[in-house]
Amino acid sequence: MKKLLTNKIFKNNLITYGIVIIAFVVISIIKGTGNLSSLFTGLLVPLCAYIILAVSLNLVVGISGELSLGHAGFMCVGAFSSALFSKCVVGTMPDGLRFLLALIIGSVLAGIIGVLIGIPVLRLKGDYLAIVTLAFGEIIKNIINVIYIGRDSKGFHFSMTSEMDLNLEAGGETLINGAQGITGTPKDSSFLIGFILVMITLFIVLNLINSRDGRAIMAIRDNRIAAESIGINITKYKLLAFTVSSVLAGAAGVLYSHNLNNLQATSKNFGYNMSIMFLVFVVLGGIGNIRGSIIAAVLLTLLPELLRGLNAYRMLIYAIVLIAIMLFNWAPGALAFREKYSIKNWLSKKTGKEEM
Amino acid sequence: MALLEAKNLSISFGGLRAVDEFNISIEKGQLYGLIGPNGAGKTTVFNLLTGVYKPTEGIVTLNGIDITAKKTIDLNKAGIARTFQNIRLFKDLSVLDNVKAALHNHYVYSTFDGIFRTPKFRKCEKAMNERAMELLKVFDLDEKADILASNLPYGKQRKLEIARALATEPKILLLDEPAAGMNPNETLELMETIRFIRDKFDMTILLIEHDMKLVSGICEELTVLNFGRILTKGKTSEVLNNPEVIKAYLGDE
What tens digit of pLDDT does each residue of A321-355 get?
Answer: 888 887 877 777 777 777 777 766 666 665 554 44
- CB–CB contact A222 B97 (8 Å): no
- Look at residues A81, A84, A88, A87 and name the one whose alpha carbon lies nearest to residue A105: A81
CA distance A225 to A234: 9
pLDDT band at A306 (very low <50, low <70, confident <90, very high): confident
CA dihedral sign of residues A44, A49, A50, A55: positive
Residues of B in contact with A5 (CB under 8 A): 94, 96, 145-146
Which ranges of chain B does DSSP label H, i.e. alpha helix?
42-49, 72-78, 95-102, 111-116, 119-138, 154-167, 184-201, 212-218, 236-240, 243-250
- Which range marks the domain in which residue A283 is found? 2-145+181-306
pLDDT in tens, A48-74: 999 999 999 999 999 999 999 999 999
pLDDT band at A5 (very low <50, low <70, confident <90, very high): low
pLDDT band at A173 (very low <50, low <70, confident <90, very high): confident
Q: Does the pLDDT of residue B171 top 90, yes or no?
A: yes
Residue-wise over A30-52: b if at least 16 C-beta within 10 A, else e? eeeeeebeeebeebbbbbbbbbb
Residues of B in contact with A288 (CB under 8 A): 92
Residues of B in contact with A213 (CB under 8 A): 111, 114
CA dihedral sign of residues A55, A56, A59, A61: negative
CA distance A91 to B118: 39
pLDDT band at A24 (very low <50, low <70, confident <90, very high): very high
The ipTM, to two decimals, is: 0.91
CA angle A175, A176, A181 (to 5 degrees): 130
Tell me whether residue A88 is in a domain: yes
Tell me whether residue A260 is in a domain: yes
Query: Could you tell me which CATH number the domain at B4-79+170-250 has?
Result: 3.40.50.300
Distance from the B237 Cα atom to the nearest Cα atom in chain A, whole angstroms: 33
Beta pairing partners, B3: none
CA distance B20 to B5: 16
Q: Does the pLDDT of residue A26 top 90, yes or no?
A: yes
Range A200-226 average pLDDT: 95
Tell me whether residue A220 is in a domain: yes
Distance from the B99 Cα atom to the nearest Cα atom in chain A, whole angstroms: 10
Tell me whether residue A339 is in a domain: no
* pLDDT score recorded for residue B252: 62
Beta pairing partners, B4: B26, B62
Residue-wise over A253-282: b if at least 16 C-beta within 10 A, else e? bbbbbbbbeebbbeeebbbbebbebbbbbb
- CB–CB contact A2 B105 (8 Å): no
Say which of B93, B96, B125 has its CB closest to residue A222.
Answer: B93
Under 8 Å between Cβ of A204 and B115:
yes
Q: Does the pLDDT of residue A1 top 70, yes or no?
A: no
Distance from the B115 Cα atom to the nearest Cα atom in chain A, whole angstroms: 5
Distance from the A59 Cα atom to the nearest Cα atom in chain B, whole angstroms: 14
* pLDDT score recorded for residue A355: 40
Tell me whether residue A344 is in a domain: no
CA distance B230 to B45: 11
pLDDT in tens, B55-88: 999 999 999 899 988 899 999 999 999 999 889 9
Residue-wise over B227-246: b if at least 16 C-beta within 10 A, else e? ebbbbebeebeebbebeebe
Range A104-115 average pLDDT: 96
Beta pairing partners, B33: B207, B222
Under 8 Å between Cβ of A263 and A79:
yes
Q: Does the pLDDT of residue A146 top 80, yes or no?
A: yes
Under 8 Å between Cβ of A111 and A104:
no
* pLDDT score recorded for residue B118: 92
pLDDT in tens, B33-62: 998 888 888 889 988 998 888 999 999 999
Tell me whether residue A138 is in a domain: yes
Looking at chain A, which residue has its C-alpha nearest residue B108?
A: A212
Residue B32 vs residues A263, B25, B182: alpha-carbon distances, Å: 69, 10, 21
pLDDT in tens, B208-218: 987 788 888 88
Residue-wise over B198-217: b if at least 16 C-beta within 10 A, else e? beeeebbbbbbbebeebbbe
B253 touches chain A (CB under 8 A): no
Residue B248 vs residues B18, B34, B43: alpha-carbon distances, Å: 17, 14, 18
pLDDT band at B242 (very low <50, low <70, confident <90, very high): confident
Under 8 Å between Cβ of B106 and B164:
no
- CATH number of A9's domain: 1.10.3470
Q: Provide residues of A within 8 Å CB-CB of chain B.
A: 1-2, 4-5, 203-204, 207-208, 211-216, 218-219, 221-223, 225-234, 240, 288
Distance from the B77 Cα atom to the nearest Cα atom in chain A, whole angstroms: 6
What mean pLDDT is reported for chain B? 90
Residues of A in contact with B129 (CB under 8 A): 2
Q: Does the pLDDT of residue A136 top 80, yes or no?
A: yes
Q: Does the pLDDT of residue A43 top 60, yes or no?
A: yes
Helix (H, G, I), strand (E, B) or coil at A253: helix
CA distance A292 to A278: 13
CA distance A352 to B193: 41
CA angle A194, A195, A196 (to 5 degrees): 90
Residue A99 vs residues A45, A89, A175, A230: alpha-carbon distances, Å: 15, 10, 18, 44
* pLDDT score recorded for residue A353: 46
B123 touches chain A (CB under 8 A): no
CA angle B186, B190, B193 (to 5 degrees): 140
The total of structural domains in chain A comes to 1
Tell me whether residue A318 is in a domain: no
Q: Does the pLDDT of residue A254 top 60, yes or no?
A: yes
Tell me whether residue A36 is in a domain: yes
Under 8 Å between Cβ of B98 and B149:
yes
Residues of B in contact with A219 (CB under 8 A): 90, 93, 98, 101
Q: By mean pLDDT, which of A160-164, B176-180, B219-223 is the weakest?
A: A160-164
> Where do the structural domains in chain B lie, given as residue ranges?
4-79+170-250, 92-156
* pLDDT score recorded for residue A10: 85
